[in-house]
Amino acid sequence: MIEIYLGTTCDIPSDFCNTNPCINGGTCSNLGNGSFICACLQDFTGHYIKLTYI
């Protein structure tokens, strides 16, 4: 597993969920490997929860 750190001395752990990338009420979770996942509410789908089920 790769941990990503930021800052001039690489001492700040990255938090990809800080920018709230999940839309339409989705919940963001850091995976700890330099990426994140969005948990969608019912009727929504997609990596950033941009798609609606019809």
In CATH terms, the superfamily for domain 5-52 is Laminin (2.10.25.10)
pLDDT band per the 50, 70, 90 thresholds, residue 3: low
Cβ partners under 8 Å of residue 43, min gap 6: 52, 53
Is residue 23 within 8 Å of 49, Cβ to Cβ? yes
Taking alpha carbons only, the member of 48, 54, 13, 3 closest to residue 27 is 48
For 5-35, how does the pLDDT look when each residue is reduced to its tens digit (9 = 90+)? 777 888 777 777 887 788 888 899 888 666 7
**Which of the two residues, 54 and 3, has the higher pLDDT score?**
3
Kindly list the domain boundaries of the chain, sorted by start residue. 5-52
